[in-house]
Chain A
Amino acid sequence: MSGHSTYEPKTGIERWLDTRLPIIRFGVDLGDFPTPKNLNYWWTFGAILGVCLVTQIVTGIILAMHYVPNATLAFDSVEHIMRDVNYGWLIRYIHANGAAMMFLAVYIHMFRGLYYGSYKAPREVLWLLGMVIYLLMVITAFMGYVLPWGQMSFWAATVITNILGSLPVVGPPITTWLWGGFAVDDPTLNRFFSLHYLLPFVIAGVVVLHIWALHVPGNNNPTGVNVKSEADTVPFHPYYTIKDAFGAGVFLILFAAFVFYNPDGMGHADNYVPANPLVTPAHIVPEWYLLPYYAMLRAVPNKLLGVLTMFGAIGVLFVLPWLDRSKVRSMRYRPTARIFLALFLLTCLVLGWCGAHEPDAAVIPGVGPGFVLVDYGINTDVWLSRLGTLLYFAYLIPVQLFLPLFETPLPVPESISTPVLSHPASVPAGATSAPEKKG
């Protein structure tokens, strides 16, 4: 951890413990950690994700007490939780919606990093660890989706595991190994349950590394300017504990609205039909948070290349710190980059929309598929997905490499305090009664 420790053991037992296991010092230092004073609400999503992870682990442990990982019993055991376990319906709905809420939070957290350049030196390792957490979240969420053993569970497992089978040479044996047999069945369910229980603890471990890597360079901030003096910072506690708590409160209101009033809104009706290997649902779709990747997978006519594109879409984010050539961290001072990032966000949303629809669905309804280009009409979902995939990679590779050569950034402030002090809301006259403005 950076910065010097201000902890002074006061009692004999504290001094005794401090020379053996300075755990109190550790806690105090975490609380005192100097944090830029200009962090806005987008910075609360780190703490919100911590709340989400703990919620998922606690509810998950309780669910595991009642769930039975057996292909013939799993579906009914979930319904047993819904019907007979005291508040089982609440625990399960929190867990199921909590996964989606955690992805919502992680996407906001990642876009905040993209906007304010939080992945740039010296925070590359912090970003890499974050990407590892995200990848683990995707795997964990996918395995969790399989556990209720409904129709979508079973067929999602079938589609995703078959995707790996397209890898040359190693693909088929890997698939058989994952299945524990020659089709998705009881052994698959058992190992997915085991891993679904394990991986959240791995995530928790990587989160510790992520926070460690955060505490070495310290937080980035909306200006992207390094902390210059103590005047730029406030102690983490109570300033950011309270701000994060407020952010988490607002987030929990949205979370509770889903849990209590639309608990199946993000799910699919087919998953209340028990898994049936002999009946394929009309439309197999993943949960909303994976739809953009699903669209990319289907955009490429070749299965192997589609798989590589899909994995590449996540992989390229890992190397983003080295692709971005801009010296300016925060997009607050990069108006052109801001437009590109907005287009990138739009691209991701459009890809998500594409992933939810059939590949040959018309994009503009009532016009027909239009001129057939190669395999599909141009007014189809698949061509929009292809455009989206192209724009996705265009933003992450050429735009990152070459935009800095052409853009003119705005002047960057000297320090964090400079723009703060010239902020209209904090003009010294009547400063005591001036309303606080978060910038």
Chain B
Amino acid sequence: MLRKAFAIAAALGLAAAAQASLAATTQATPKDVHWSFEGPFGRFDQEQLQRGYKVYHDVCSSCHAMHLMSYRNLGQVGGPFYDPKYPNPNDNPYVKAIVQDYKVADIDSDTGDVIHRPATTADAFVSPFANDAAARASNGGSLPPDLSLIIKAREDGARYVYSILTGYQPAPAGLTVPANRYYDPYMPGDMTSFWHGAGPAPTGGFIAMPLQLTPNRVTFDDHVMATPDQEAKDVVAFLAWASEPHQSERKQLGFAVMIYLVIFTGLLYASYRRIWRKVAH
């Protein structure tokens, strides 16, 4: 597998070869996965989004915040729990059930005391830690990144995150792994100073998050087998949706706009030919 990773890295050609000489930061090319939401007609699979939310809820959310997401987003058009019966996502029973598990820090308007009130559908996702310092303190000094935009904030983000989640490997002999760090060839990093084996240092980097997605880590409500691969794909689909909740709407509107523009431009061309027909030019 590692040999394969090397081969892939070598095949990266110009970019990788060039960058390696300066920073020596390497990472394996993300695994090739097909996503339903890719391409001009790509759509999210709502059941997959629901499973993905469950993975986020049961696993990721204990460390990773999504501060740009609100509970109501889960029930909006295109969201995991959207139901045409509830055009206002705040009325959606799934969303209302989800918020019952959360308390939000607030100020009592009568006494001014700090209180925790029940969350509403309009509230942003409750973050697992009060602030970044608290998050670091609980995670060996590392800050679990906010996942609201993670798919858009990385090159080829969906494949990248999927590859990281499923790419954990035992460190090759000769690689000194620091405490509370794990080897993942898909993580960008520079292994040179940790490498004491023969040949060039392995591709990839260390990640502070231990392997999370194990078989049956979550129980899917639709009885889909909770394999690590399935869990990773589902959570990536959910994160891809959350990175840009309006992307399906964008593609749908785009289709109509393109048709309109092509017809309109065709009419303009016909008008142009007609107006110019008597001019020698």
Contacts and interface: CB of A to CB of B under 8 A. Distances in A.
Interface in B236-281: 243-246, 250-251, 253-255, 257-258, 261-262, 264-265, 268-269, 271-273, 275-277, 279-281
B57 interface: no
Given A259-B254, A260-B257, A426 B281 contact: yes
Interface in A257-275: 257, 259-261, 263-264, 269-270, 272-273
Contacts of A93: 250
Interface string A354-388: 00011011100110010000000000010000000
A242 B40 CA distance: 31
B22 interface: yes
Interface stretch (A104-112, A191-199, A210-218, A245-253): A245-253
Contact of A246 (B40, B246, B268): B268
Contact of B244 (A82, A252, A369): A82
A38 B15 CA distance: 46
A65 interface: no
B152 A438 contact: no
A239 interface: yes
Given A90-B253, A264-B152, A431-B280, A253 B265 contact: yes
B155 interface: yes
Contacts, number: 125
A253 B243 CA distance: 26
B203 interface: no
B33 interface: no
Interface string A79-92: 10011000001100
A243 B246 contact: no
Contact of A426 (B21, B23, B244, B280): B280
Contact of B19 (A245, A361, A420): A361
A272 B240 CA distance: 13
Interface string B162-199: 00000000000000000000000000100000000000
Nearest to A234: B279
Interface in A74-127: 76, 79, 82-83, 89-90, 93
Given A249-B268, A256-B257, A37 B17 contact: no
Nearest to B68: A79
Contacts of B155: 269
B258 A89 contact: no
A170 interface: no
Interface in A23-53: 37-38
Interface residues of B, number: 48
Contacts of A79: 68, 148-149
B153 A252 contact: no
A269 B22 contact: no
Interface residues on A, range: 35 or more
B25 interface: yes
Given A89-B250, A242-B275, A259-B254, A272 B152 contact: yes
Contacts of A429: none
B245 to A, nearest CB: 6
Nearest to A426: B280
Interface of B: 13-15, 17-19, 21-23, 25, 40, 67-68, 73, 148-149, 152-155, 157, 188, 243-246, 250-251, 253-255, 257-258, 261-262, 264-265, 268-269, 271-273, 275-277, 279-281
What 5 A-B pairs have minimum CB-CB distances, sorted nearest first?
Answer: A260-B254, A361-B18, A249-B265, A272-B153, A365-B14
23 contacts: A38-B281, A83-B68, A83-B73, A83-B245, A90-B250, A90-B253, A238-B275, A239-B275, A242-B268, A245-B268, A246-B269, A246-B271, A249-B265, A252-B261, A269-B155, A272-B243, A362-B18, A362-B21, A365-B14, A365-B17, A366-B17, A417-B280, A436-B281
